[in-house]
A and B are shown apart, each in its own frame.
Chain A
Amino acid sequence: DSGVTQTPKHLITATGQRVTLRCSPRSGDLSVYWYQQSLDQGLQFLIQYYNGEERAKGNILERFSAQQFPDLHSELNLSSLELGDSALYFCASTGSLATNEKLFFGSGTQLSVL
């Protein structure tokens, strides 16, 4: 168990809908990352937050947004969902911004858009 908690584990929804994925980082970790893992793209970095502030952005669509709350949990919001958004979404956390800080990953949320 990595200590990173993601909910829900599975989510099935329809095109055009909006969903929210939730992540609780490891106790004490200030930095949260979101990754998307799809069948044709592998693990793609979406966005990073550190202590409530956005720090880095990757291949995140404009239909997607995220935030990190004062209690350090994070939410990833996906709107106007398309079939191609079906993927595993992972959250990872780490304690600081130091280069050699390894990421600890949650078990992921499997999103299926029908």
Chain B
Amino acid sequence: GESVGLHLPTLSVQEGDNSIINCAYSNSASDYFIWYKQESGKGPQFIIDIRSNMDKRQGQRVTVLLNKTVKHLSLQIAATQPGDSAVYFCAEKSGGNKLTFGTGTQLKVEL
């Protein structure tokens, strides 16, 4: 079940398809961004990060895109697998060191 009971946006994808999860951030001074994955009953787990001087960064099966002009961040997951089912949060850092989290997106992978 969902680890966060908010009315979360939900993205349903077929196994093997690519997933794109979007996030709009609020602070134009934010200089560091992170994507976290949270499975039910667990704490947020780091996926990938990007600094504001970059617009794209790739990891293993994941890519983060940053568009500072419109303050938009996206996470792309290639060949989505059942184990990718979770809530995904984007987070931003500005000035100090606290992370401000978005409300999350529930990703459901259908077999």
Contacts and interface: CB of A to CB of B under 8 A. Distances in A.
Interface of A: 2, 4, 31, 33, 35, 37, 39-40, 42-43, 45, 48, 55-56, 58, 88, 90, 92, 94, 97, 99-108
A92 B34 CA distance: 14
Contacts of B3: 37, 88
Interface string B69-81: 0000000000000
B44 A90 contact: yes
Interface of B: 3-6, 31-32, 34, 36, 41-46, 49, 51, 89, 93, 96-104
Contacts, number: 69
Given A39-B4, A99-B93, A100-B49, A45 B43 contact: no
Contact of A39 (B5, B41, B96, B98): B5
B47 to A, nearest CB: 10
A55 B43 contact: no
Contacts of A56: 96-98
